[in-house]
C-alpha cells in the first residue's frame, strides 16, 4: 500500500487505508509509521482535521482511527469505525 502522498490524500480515504494497514499488516502504529515513513504528528493532525482520532478498544487487538464529532448535541457523540 502506498501512503507516500498521505498529506494530500482525502482524509476519508486515508483513514480507511491506515485502518486496513493496522488491522491486516502492522502490529502497531509505530510499525505502520516506520514501514511507510510517516510522521506521527502529521498523520494524526491530518486525520483530526476530519474528526478522526486514534482510539483503542478492549475488544480490538490494534489501534484504530475512529470518527468522533462532539458537536451533534449536548453530551452526544457519534463514533464510526472505518
Q: Coil, strand, or helix at residue 73?
A: coil
The pLDDT tens digits of the residues spanning 26-58 come to: 988 889 999 999 999 999 899 888 888 887 654
* Residue 26 lies in domain: 11-81
Say what the pTM is. Answer: 0.70
Q: Is residue 59 part of a domain?
A: yes
Is 4 contained in some domain?
Answer: no
Distance CA 46, CA 11 (A): 7
pLDDT of 62 over the 60 cut? no
Residue 2 placed within a domain: no
Q: Bridge partners of 64?
A: 55
Between residues 13 and 73, the one the model is more confident about: 13
Amino acid at each position: 500500500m502506498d501512503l507516500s502522498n498521505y498529506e494530500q490524500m482525502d482524509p476519508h480515504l486515508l483513514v480507511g487505508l491506515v485502518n486496513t494497514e493496522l488491522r491486516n499488516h502492522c502490529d502497531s502504529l509505530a510499525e505502520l509509521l516506520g514501514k511507510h515513513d510517516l510522521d506521527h504528528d502529521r498523520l494524526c493532525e491530518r486525520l483530526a482535521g476530519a474528526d478522526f482520532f486514534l482510539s483503542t478498544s478492549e475488544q480490538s487487538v490494534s489501534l484504530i482511527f475512529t470518527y468522533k464529532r462532539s458537536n451533534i448535541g449536548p453530551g452526544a457523540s457519534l463514533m464510526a469505525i472505518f
